[in-house]
Amino acid sequence: MAFYDYKIINASGKTATGRLQGASDYEIADILRSKGYKIIFIHEKKGGVLTSQGSQSQGGIFSRFSRISIRDLSIFTNQFGTMLNAGLSMSKALDVMQKQTSNPKLSVVIQALTDEVQKGQALSQGLAKFPTVFSPLYISMVQAGEASGNLGNSLITMSGFLQRDNEIRAKIRGAMSYPVAVLAFALLIVIGLFIFVIPTFEGFLKQLGAPLPAATKLIFGFADLLIHRGWILLIIVIIIGVVYTRWARTPRGRRTLDLIKLRAPVISGLTKKSAMARFSDTFSTLFSGGIPIVECLQTVKGTIDNVIIGETIEGVIDSIKKGMSLSAALTQGGLFTAMLIEMTGIGEESGSLDRMLHKVAEFYSDEVDHAVDNLTSLINPIMMVVVGGLIGGVLIGLYLPIFTMASYVQ
């Protein structure tokens, strides 16, 4: 994550500046717009550790390379909630957590939270100063715990959600990274063939005076380009990568990619199941904390990493505000599964909406596991065919002249 300096116009019409940490300027823009600010500019600034919204501390050389992972946050949240339930004061619990954490950035954040609490601020107010560390979902759960006087259990519930969310994300990342790694390895092998093996074959075939088929000439031509003009190909690849990355960060690019994820034959099932699991788990976690349905949905919308599904949830919110039931609004949305809608309806009728959606979340979490396993088992033979076909095609192209000469000799 990088730091971004920004200048905005607030609700009162005054200009203000500050600094936030985020994955991209688009993420920072989303955070500022969600608060009703009008953005004047956002500029990236390297280095430092976030201590509070708009402030920065160096935090040592190792803190520059560390990050606060979901796992780190889950462990912190669980231990914090356990200490509060054990009767420790909030300041004492934070002090203990600050001393035992091994993450430099998290240590700085905890110290800042301790200072805020000792000043008499609510914990949720302190968390709100770190929007890139604590999500709106996290802050909403803490606010619900503060309002009900059951902050410890709210934190433990949040910790469980973070752990489940981390597991799903890790499985999906693992399934997606495998084919990329295999293709990268195959590409390295092919590049090695073109640079070190093919020139030897070319000299050998020229000495024999063998007629070269079109496929062989094409292979030799590409090898020559790679050896003597490889920097041109590298520049082209870099330009394509930069253009794609910038396009993918634009609203139109994000929408297009998210639409592809929902319609692509292989990954659409995994995308929908993971979205249903995240929606159900997040909603049930918030609703069990006593948060109203509309606020739950608004928070859930911010946690769904898909623009299309986010727009659908916005439509669900509008329908509920008009007096429609949640299950009917989900049906009208068109993207939610029949099981999720049916279980939501049962939960509304029985007054156990949070428990029903928690069961849905468990079901779709298992479905995500199966989908990842199926995707991995499907990718294995596909990768074997692709890699084998790529390398085999090059080798056949090299040996074609020899086969042709053998037919002449016969």
Q: Which segment of 118-127, 204-213, 274-283 scores lowest on mean pLDDT?
A: 204-213
* Residue partners of 196: CB distance under 8 A and separation at least 6: none
Assign domain 77-159 one CATH number from 1.20.81.30, 1.10.4030.10, 3.40.50.1000, 1.20.1440.120.
Answer: 1.20.81.30
Q: Provide the pLDDT for residue 380.
A: 74
User: Which of 43-52, 87-96, 147-156, 249-258 has the least mean pLDDT?
Assistant: 43-52
Residue 65 burial (C-beta neighbours within 10 Å; 0-12, 13-18, 19+):
exposed
pLDDT tens digits for range 56-111: 443 443 344 457 888 888 889 999 989 988 888 888 888 888 888 888 888 888 88
Is the pLDDT confidence value at 51 over 50? no
Position 303 pLDDT exceeds 80? no
pLDDT tens digits along 289-300? 788 888 888 888
Two domains, one topology: 77-159 and 160-410: yes
Helix (H, G, I), strand (E, B) or coil at 357: helix
> So where are the chain's domains?
2-46, 77-159, 160-410
Quickly list DSSP for 7-74.
EEE-TTS-EEEEEEEESSHHHHHHHHHHTTPEEEEEEEE---EEEETTEEE---TGGGT----HHHHH
Three-state DSSP class for residue 175: helix
Cα(182)–Cα(385) distance, rounded to whole angstroms?
12
Given this model, what pLDDT does residue 330 score? 92
- 336-361 residue pLDDT tens: 999 999 999 999 998 889 899 989 98
Looking at CATH, the fold of the domain delimited by 160-410 is given as Receptor-associated Protein (1.20.81)
Residue-wise pLDDT tens digits, 246-259: 998 888 888 899 89
Rounded Cα distance, 169 and 286, in Å: 20
Element (H, E) at 3: strand 2-9
One-letter amino acid identity for 173?
A: R
Does the pTM surpass 0.85? The reply is: no
pLDDT value of residue 59: 41
CA dihedral 129, 133, 135, 136 (to 10 degrees): 0
Which pLDDT score, from 0 to 100, does residue 56 have?
Answer: 43
In order of 25, 331, 338, 346, 368, the CA distances from 341 in angstroms are 36, 7, 5, 9, 18
Residue 30 CA neighbour count, 13 Å, CB half: 19
Q: For the residues 6-33, what does the mean pLDDT come to?
A: 74
The rounded percent of the chain whose pLDDT value lies above 90 is 11
CB 391 within 8 A of CB 189: yes
Q: What is the mean pLDDT of residues 141-155?
A: 83
Which of 351-360, 369-378, 398-407 comes out lowest in average pLDDT?
A: 398-407
